[in-house]
Amino acid sequence: MKPIVIAEGTPEERWREWPEPARWPELPLTDAGTPLIVAPHPDDEILGVAGLMATLGRAELVAVTDGEASHPGSTVHSQTDLARIRRAETDEALRRLGLGDDTVIHRPGQPDGKIDEEPLVELLTGLLSPGRWCLATWREDGHPDHEAVGRAAARACAATGAVLLEYPIWTWHWSTPGDTRVPWDRAWRVPLGQNARKAKRAAIEAFPSQIAPLGPAPADAAILPAHVLARFDRPYEVVFRPAVDGGPAAVRNKTDGPAQVRNGTAR
């Protein structure tokens, strides 16, 4: 994994100046069905694919952890408090995206910071089926939990014939435009309309425990300050789709939806 270090990360202005994303193909949503969204921590699903969920108006969520380790040493909240608060924040965020009250959320309650891949593969395999979309954090996103979720989703998709789409989160922080460690040649855009962007902003605001300090102590600082959130206010979202036989260029030249694509273990 790449280290998530540090300071400010790549400023959003640099990403906005990069012309390449405008050339990435648009992801056709016709075969999206009710996608299975897999989030390592409460808020990852919103940062990564809230616009997609708002556009579709439906999703099923696997909230792998309750995110209880976001503020080790907090002087305000215990880990039990944080887990409860963050679960409620996710519920509210999905409501703000316009998803129905009948939206299914699976909460296996895995430990934040120590996701165990094996039981997750088992859970996802039971929920996926051929052609179903599975959106998970990218296997090389640079956070151990995000990478474990990506690997588990890739294995479950390979076993079931589901369609794997990986969304980057911390990649926007540690990488830079054109970074050769990132599979830009597999990037697809999900353009967001005004309503979807508005819903996404409202959903992000549903996470005060992450976007605002819990208190004045350094251990209670915001996890997602404004310069980080700026990366998630773009008019599009990005997913990586695994290469298939013939390579990404061959896939892109087809007009088929992603449900036509067989997933393998290709990166």
Binding positions for Zn ion, rule: CB under 5 A: 40-41, 44
Minimum CB separation of residue 40 from Zn ion in Å reads 5
Minimum CB separation of residue 249 from Zn ion in Å reads 32
Q: Which tokens in the block code for residue 176?
A: 């830079």
Closer residue to Zn ion, CB minimum distance, 38 or 59: 38
Place of tokens 């980057």: 168
| b/e map 135-164, b = 16+ CB within 10 Å | bbbbbbbbbebbbbbbbbbbbbbbebebbb
Minimum CB separation of residue 185 from Zn ion in Å reads 25
Minimum CB separation of residue 57 from Zn ion in Å reads 24
Closer residue to Zn ion, CB minimum distance, 40 or 150: 40
Residue with nearest beta carbon to Zn ion: 41
Minimum CB separation of residue 66 from Zn ion in Å reads 12
Closer residue to Zn ion, CB minimum distance, 41 or 234: 41
Closer residue to Zn ion, CB minimum distance, 54 or 136: 136
Closer residue to Zn ion, CB minimum distance, 40 or 183: 40
